[in-house]
A = this chain, B = another copy of it.
């Protein structure tokens, strides 16, 4: 079979299996998840042997230490996969929830029932633990899923796929509910993106290049975020201690992730005092500042920012800094340079807090909190399958509910339309 035929067959089987996934009782879904957790523990040696093949090939290919780290299925990583499975099993099943049930003038009762989306395809890079995390969430939400991990993790992913499919089979469910694409051929991704007759949603996770490729070539709806250029605005009456703590935490607690801070905007009124106050602490934390001319004048350790700095996702210990006239200029800057990921204001002003929350168009908008909280776990979603920075269907961290939709249900007693 050609790659196109293989993918097309997988998609058809997934669509077929999606009906079984949608009507699978909660207890059966949970038993599958717990069985996978148990088997990960039992087969840890086999998994790590397969993982070692990927690691060896990766070292030969000269992958960076960071890449090798992400690829490694250490005991600790496998433990966290097991914990994740148990957590997803413990979440309330979203499927079948009925809401908004109201009687209409005609006498019919109209409400909405939460249902699975159908077939979801995940395309991701490197980390093989995504295979388990994504499969668990998609299954719990009643979907079938097709997983396409990075080529450098193929042995690890296939070992995990076997455990997932064996667990489904052991509970009498179709194994095609969870499928891993068995080839590293790049053509498989292209073929996947044209299966709009069978696949309902594509979720790419990884670098901007991968995500752009998927978004530009997919005939299927895509939930995605390209990057996180997150902003903090320090208002004229901000509590300096609070502001400095939030800036430091947002920027330096884990600089390599998408909800880390990239640009600080400071109200002109407080800049002369606040910039040296926070600048000193940022320098101690190893953070380099790239600022506008006003920032440079007020905190001489600042490097000059050029026009490109306002749009950059550094993902390292660099912070762009700009002095602004007021909240309006801050919000204009965010509208022009933000990535609709996460922005926070530090203020004691009720009016400005309310304006910022209402007027800033980002998937997460915060008052007096670190941008690092923009995360499904921290938001109480239970688990997160990704973050969307486009507005259709989901905006922000996506949990179980975002892998479902709602249909209308009507309870009548013989009503007809006049």
Contacts and interface: CB of A to CB of B under 8 A. Distances in A.
Contacts of A200: 390-392
Contacts of A246: 414, 416
Contacts of A242: 414
Contacts of A414: 239, 242, 245-246, 368-369
A76 interface: no
Given A405-B392, A416-B249, A23 B364 contact: no
Contacts of A61: none
Given A395-B407, A405-B392, A416-B245, A380 B96 contact: no
A397 B253 CA distance: 45
Interface string A217-252: 001010000000000000000010010011011100
Contacts of A216: 219
Contact of A363 (B106, B219, B408, B412): B408
A417 B373 contact: yes
A379 interface: yes
A108 interface: yes
A76 to B, nearest CB: 18
A96 B118 CA distance: 31
A411 B367 contact: yes
9 contacts: A19-B361, A108-B366, A117-B391, A118-B361, A216-B219, A242-B414, A364-B409, A368-B414, A393-B405
Interface of A: 19, 22-23, 96, 102, 104, 106, 108, 110, 113, 115, 117-118, 200-201, 216, 219, 221, 239, 242, 245-246, 248-250, 253, 335, 344, 357-359, 361-370, 372-374, 378-380, 390-393, 395-397, 405-417
